[in-house]
Amino acid sequence: SSAIAPMGETVVRHSVPPVRPSAGGRFTWVNGRADVFSAPAPVLKVDELATIAREQFGVDGVVSPLDSERDQNARIDARGQRFVLKVANVAEDPAALDLQIAVLHHLAGVAPELDVPRIVTAVDGTPYATVRSAQGRHHVRLVTHLTGRPMASVAPTAELERDLGRF
Protein backbone atom coordinates (compact mmCIF):
# COMPACT_ATOMS: atom_id res chain seq x y z
CA SER A 1 0.00 0.00 0.00
CA SER A 2 1.07 3.62 -0.28
CA ALA A 3 0.21 6.97 1.22
CA ILE A 4 1.14 10.59 0.71
CA ALA A 5 3.82 11.59 3.19
CA PRO A 6 3.82 15.06 4.78
CA MET A 7 6.50 16.23 2.30
CA GLY A 8 4.18 15.46 -0.62
CA GLU A 9 6.10 12.31 -1.49
CA THR A 10 4.45 8.99 -2.11
CA VAL A 11 5.71 6.48 0.41
CA VAL A 12 5.82 2.94 -0.92
CA ARG A 13 5.86 0.26 1.75
CA HIS A 14 6.93 -3.22 0.78
CA SER A 15 9.41 -5.88 1.80
CA VAL A 16 12.29 -5.02 -0.53
CA PRO A 17 15.56 -4.60 1.37
CA PRO A 18 17.37 -1.27 1.30
CA VAL A 19 20.10 -0.76 -1.29
CA ARG A 20 23.13 -2.84 -0.37
CA PRO A 21 26.09 -4.25 -2.29
CA SER A 22 25.44 -7.51 -4.10
CA ALA A 23 26.49 -10.74 -2.40
CA GLY A 24 30.24 -10.70 -1.93
CA GLY A 25 30.53 -7.32 -3.65
CA ARG A 26 30.70 -3.65 -2.85
CA PHE A 27 29.24 -0.63 -4.49
CA THR A 28 31.57 1.49 -6.48
CA TRP A 29 31.50 5.03 -5.10
CA VAL A 30 31.80 8.03 -7.39
CA ASN A 31 31.88 11.57 -5.97
CA GLY A 32 30.52 10.38 -2.65
CA ARG A 33 27.56 8.54 -4.21
CA ALA A 34 26.95 4.86 -4.91
CA ASP A 35 27.65 4.18 -8.57
CA VAL A 36 24.36 3.78 -10.45
CA PHE A 37 25.76 0.80 -12.37
CA SER A 38 26.49 -1.19 -9.20
CA ALA A 39 23.32 -0.30 -7.27
CA PRO A 40 20.33 -2.58 -7.87
CA ALA A 41 17.44 -1.33 -9.98
CA PRO A 42 14.21 -0.37 -8.18
CA VAL A 43 11.78 -3.23 -7.63
CA LEU A 44 8.39 -1.67 -7.01
CA LYS A 45 5.29 -3.80 -7.49
CA VAL A 46 2.86 -3.13 -10.35
CA ASP A 47 0.18 -1.84 -7.96
CA GLU A 48 2.73 0.52 -6.39
CA LEU A 49 3.66 1.86 -9.82
CA ALA A 50 -0.05 2.38 -10.57
CA THR A 51 -0.45 4.31 -7.31
CA ILE A 52 2.54 6.53 -8.09
CA ALA A 53 1.20 7.27 -11.59
CA ARG A 54 -2.24 8.12 -10.22
CA GLU A 55 -1.18 10.14 -7.15
CA GLN A 56 1.84 11.92 -8.57
CA PHE A 57 0.89 12.39 -12.25
CA GLY A 58 -2.90 12.07 -12.32
CA VAL A 59 -2.71 9.13 -14.74
CA ASP A 60 -4.87 6.11 -13.95
CA GLY A 61 -4.32 3.11 -16.18
CA VAL A 62 -3.09 -0.41 -16.74
CA VAL A 63 0.59 -0.89 -15.83
CA SER A 64 2.87 -3.23 -17.82
CA PRO A 65 6.51 -3.65 -16.70
CA LEU A 66 9.24 -2.86 -19.25
CA ASP A 67 12.86 -3.99 -19.29
CA SER A 68 15.43 -1.49 -18.11
CA GLU A 69 19.14 -1.32 -17.46
CA ARG A 70 19.38 0.41 -14.09
CA ASP A 71 15.95 1.98 -13.49
CA GLN A 72 12.47 0.52 -13.33
CA ASN A 73 10.21 1.36 -16.25
CA ALA A 74 6.58 0.54 -16.91
CA ARG A 75 4.15 1.33 -19.72
CA ILE A 76 0.84 2.77 -18.63
CA ASP A 77 -2.21 2.49 -20.88
CA ALA A 78 -4.69 5.14 -19.83
CA ARG A 79 -7.79 6.39 -21.67
CA GLY A 80 -6.39 5.73 -25.14
CA GLN A 81 -2.97 7.18 -24.32
CA ARG A 82 0.30 5.43 -23.48
CA PHE A 83 2.98 6.64 -21.13
CA VAL A 84 6.23 5.35 -19.63
CA LEU A 85 6.71 5.69 -15.89
CA LYS A 86 10.45 5.85 -15.14
CA VAL A 87 11.55 5.14 -11.55
CA ALA A 88 15.17 6.21 -11.19
CA ASN A 89 17.76 4.15 -9.38
CA VAL A 90 18.41 5.50 -5.87
CA ALA A 91 22.05 6.05 -6.89
CA GLU A 92 21.16 8.09 -9.99
CA ASP A 93 22.60 11.61 -9.90
CA PRO A 94 19.67 14.06 -10.03
CA ALA A 95 21.78 16.25 -12.35
CA ALA A 96 21.71 13.44 -14.95
CA LEU A 97 17.91 13.35 -14.76
CA ASP A 98 17.75 17.15 -15.01
CA LEU A 99 19.90 16.95 -18.15
CA GLN A 100 17.60 14.34 -19.73
CA ILE A 101 14.56 16.49 -18.93
CA ALA A 102 16.26 19.62 -20.31
CA VAL A 103 17.14 17.82 -23.57
CA LEU A 104 13.56 16.63 -24.05
CA HIS A 105 12.18 20.13 -23.30
CA HIS A 106 14.69 21.63 -25.74
CA LEU A 107 13.77 19.18 -28.50
CA ALA A 108 10.06 19.85 -27.96
CA GLY A 109 10.72 23.55 -28.44
CA VAL A 110 13.12 23.54 -31.39
CA ALA A 111 12.11 20.38 -33.25
CA PRO A 112 8.52 19.46 -32.32
CA GLU A 113 8.30 17.24 -35.39
CA LEU A 114 10.84 14.79 -33.93
CA ASP A 115 9.35 11.57 -32.61
CA VAL A 116 10.83 11.67 -29.11
CA PRO A 117 9.16 11.21 -25.72
CA ARG A 118 7.50 14.29 -24.24
CA ILE A 119 7.70 15.13 -20.54
CA VAL A 120 4.43 14.82 -18.61
CA THR A 121 4.56 17.05 -15.55
CA ALA A 122 3.60 15.87 -12.09
CA VAL A 123 0.39 17.14 -10.50
CA ASP A 124 2.44 19.80 -8.68
CA GLY A 125 3.76 21.13 -12.03
CA THR A 126 7.30 19.79 -11.67
CA PRO A 127 8.97 17.49 -14.23
CA TYR A 128 9.37 14.64 -11.73
CA ALA A 129 8.09 13.41 -8.40
CA THR A 130 10.05 11.92 -5.52
CA VAL A 131 8.97 8.68 -3.88
CA ARG A 132 10.45 6.73 -1.01
CA SER A 133 10.65 2.96 -0.85
CA ALA A 134 12.56 0.52 1.32
CA GLN A 135 15.46 1.01 -1.13
CA GLY A 136 15.57 4.79 -0.59
CA ARG A 137 14.43 7.90 -2.48
CA HIS A 138 13.62 7.63 -6.18
CA HIS A 139 12.94 10.39 -8.67
CA VAL A 140 10.06 9.37 -10.92
CA ARG A 141 9.30 10.78 -14.35
CA LEU A 142 6.45 10.22 -16.75
CA VAL A 143 6.97 10.56 -20.50
CA THR A 144 4.86 9.79 -23.52
CA HIS A 145 5.29 6.32 -24.98
CA LEU A 146 6.81 5.81 -28.42
CA THR A 147 5.37 2.98 -30.48
CA GLY A 148 7.86 0.32 -31.49
CA ARG A 149 9.60 -2.79 -30.29
CA PRO A 150 11.71 -2.53 -27.15
CA MET A 151 15.41 -3.16 -27.76
CA ALA A 152 15.35 -5.98 -25.20
CA SER A 153 12.86 -7.91 -27.34
CA VAL A 154 14.98 -7.84 -30.52
CA ALA A 155 17.77 -10.31 -31.27
CA PRO A 156 21.04 -8.38 -31.63
CA THR A 157 22.57 -8.38 -35.10
CA ALA A 158 25.66 -6.70 -36.49
CA GLU A 159 23.43 -4.41 -38.58
CA LEU A 160 21.34 -3.38 -35.57
CA GLU A 161 24.43 -2.69 -33.48
CA ARG A 162 25.95 -0.67 -36.34
CA ASP A 163 22.74 1.37 -36.68
CA LEU A 164 22.60 1.96 -32.94
CA GLY A 165 26.23 3.10 -33.02
CA ARG A 166 25.38 5.61 -35.78
CA PHE A 167 22.56 7.00 -33.68
pLDDT digits (tens, 9 = 90+) for 21-55: 444 444 555 566 667 888 889 999 999 999 999 99
Provide the pLDDT for residue 166.
Answer: 79
pLDDT digits (tens, 9 = 90+) for 108-162: 999 999 999 999 999 999 999 999 988 889 999 999 999 988 777 888 899 988 8
Q: Over 90: is that where the pLDDT of 5 sits? A: no
pLDDT digits (tens, 9 = 90+) for 97-119: 999 999 999 999 999 999 999 99
Side-chain half-sphere CA neighbours of 63 within 13 A:
20
How do 10-12 and 29-30 pair as beta strands?
A: unpaired
Give the residue among 105, 93, 99 at the shortest CA–CA distance from 137: 93
Side-chain half-sphere CA neighbours of 58 within 13 A:
7
163 class by beta-carbon count within 10 Å (0-12 exposed, 13-18 middle, 19+ buried): exposed
